[in-house]
Every structure is written in C-alpha cells, then in structure tokens.
Amino acid sequence: MEILVVDNDTASRQQTVAQLLKAGHRTQEATTALQAIQTLELHPVDLLMLDSHLPDTDVFELIRTVRATFSHWFPIVLLSDTRHEQFLADGIHAGADDYLLRPLSATLLIARLEALSRIIRMKQELDAANMQLKMLSTQDPLTGLLNRRGLDQVLSRAWHHHRQDKSELALMMIDIDQFKRYNDYYGHQQGDHCLRQVASLLEQSLAQPHGRLARYGGEEFMVILPGADCYDARQLASQILQRVKNAAILHPASSVASYLTLSIGISTSCQQADSCETLVSQADEALYLAKRYGRNREVCYGEIATLINSASSRPVAVG
C-alpha cells in the first residue's frame, strides 16, 4: 500500500516509516496538516496515518477536513499515546477508521494493515461493480451508445452549462428512413446489425470533442452538440448523410434510394428554447418535416416556415 505518515516528531515518524517499509509498504511523509493536505492532493494514497498531537492542529478537525475534501475513500488510522477511551472514540466519530497506541507493536501494526488491506480491496471491487452497473444502466446494449436514460443525464448537464455560460447548444435527431421496410425485407436480426452499422457511422462522423451520441429509441439517434449553432450542426449533418451514402448499405425496399438513408432534424438554442425539453421537441418537429418533405436530408428548426412556404411538391407520407 501507499501510506502517508503525518507526524511532526522526527524520531517517532522515522520509526513508523521504518516499520511500514519493513512490512513491504511504500511511504510518504508530512509533518503538518497543511503538508498532509498538499501531499494528498498531489499523490493519492491508500492509507493515511495521523499522529494525534500535531502542532497547532486539532487532529479531529483535520480528519473531518480530509473526509470532506477527498471523495476517494481511504482508511485513516490515528496514532496516539493517549489511552483515554473517549479521546479515541472521538477520533473514530470524526472519521478515522482505526487507531494504534504508541509505542507501536510491529506485530499488531502488520495485523491491522492486513485487515485494512482487505477492506481496501473489497471497497475497490465494490466501486468497480458499481461503476459497471452505472455504465450498464446508461448504455444501450445493442449499439453500446448512451441509452435514453444516459441521454437525459447528459442533455440536462449540457443545458445547465448552456444557461450558465450563455453558450450555444445544438441537437440533432436522426431517424433511419423506412426502417420498418428494412426489417420486413431482411428480418430483425439483420435489422439489429444495421442499427449497429449506423451507430458506428455516426460515431465516426462525430469529431467534435464534446459532442455526445445516443440511441434515442428504435431506429432514432440523437447527437448533443455543445457550442454548436445551426451552421455547425448542418455541416455535421451533411457529413453524416454523405458518410451513410458512401457506406452504401443496401435497402431494396426503400422508396427513397437503393441504399439506406437518414433524415435529420436540428434544433439550436438560438431559437429561444426555454428548456431542454423544448429543444428536443423542436428537433423532433424538424425531423418530421425532413421526412415529410423528401427524407434523406437535414432540416433546421428555424427553417421550417421557409421550407413549408417554398415546397414545390406535394408532401410525401412520413415513415
């Protein structure tokens, strides 16, 4: 383990460090509360050992500060020559996990460290399991993208940053044209393969560092583009349409083209959306118009009125 020993008494600290090194552990040293905090900020440790009588420092307050400052949990062991039960109990209540009485017994020290090592390993395994569960709860199992739950979380954060920083925010809602016909023609197994292909093509197109891609549901996907306006989003949409065209995924049942095509609806914060729900609704409306007026195209929400007024052909059925 990596252990930080905090003790202003040189002889006492060196003795503790020597015992830890002999037991096969790595050590760092500090003599004051400030040095301890600075060391923890620069060098994460597995365990903290605190002398109970640091100068000009209430050790219980230091323990509480450490617990409040560092989200990563590690055991704290109080080193004390005070055998008063209430004092030791107060240390535990402040956030310490154990205590050792001076002079330190090498046998007891090794035993306590072995016990704490087991706790640390169990905590790491639990953290890894929780991380895996969290990932699974926000990940679409078919495509590996964010699912609807993960999307809602990311979109909520993006909207908060947009309002806080007065920055641009764009959404793209993407739908595979006539995907039901594709499924009917090829079967659902091939349909799943197609969804994974489209997800991969979308990921390849999304070069923006902070953009996030999610499977919105069924054959629909959504892209969140912080800092992007309608022009930026339309540029990306054009690249996506071209990439899908180049992929030439056959779709014999399509009335749009012989290959798979997409329709894309775009909404941006410059259209005065008052919530992220409104932004999603505007992207959905733009997507509907993209499909209604020909498919295999992108439509930005602000262009809807112009599109309707300038339409020269009878709208086609949406699907």
User: In whole angstroms, what is the distance from residue 19 CA to residue 21 CA?
Assistant: 6
Residues in Cβ contact with 167 at an 8 Å cutoff, skipping those fewer than 6 apart: 161, 226, 227
Can you list the pairs that 53-62 forms with residues at least 24 positions away whose Cβ atoms lie under 8 Å?
53/80, 53/81, 54/6, 54/7, 54/8, 55/8, 56/32, 57/32, 57/33, 59/91, 60/90, 60/91, 60/94, 61/94, 62/33, 62/36
H or E element that contains 34: helix 33-42
Tokens of 262: 């997409």
Is 2 labeled as catalytic in the residue annotation? no
End-to-end CA distance of the chain: 60
Residues in Cβ contact with 204 at an 8 Å cutoff, skipping those fewer than 6 apart: 243
Residue 74's DSSP bridge partners are: none
User: In whole angstroms, what is the distance from residue 237 CA to residue 296 CA?
Assistant: 11
Tokens of 99: 């205590």
Residues in Cβ contact with 102 at an 8 Å cutoff, skipping those fewer than 6 apart: 12, 79, 80, 81
Indicate which residue of 125, 219, 298, 303 is catalytic: 219
Asked if residue 224 lies in contact with residue 217, where contact means CB atoms within 8 angstroms, the answer is no
Distance of CA 163 to the CA centre of its chain: 20
User: In whole angstroms, what is the distance from residue 204 CA to residue 94 CA?
Assistant: 51
- Catalytic (active-site) positions: 219
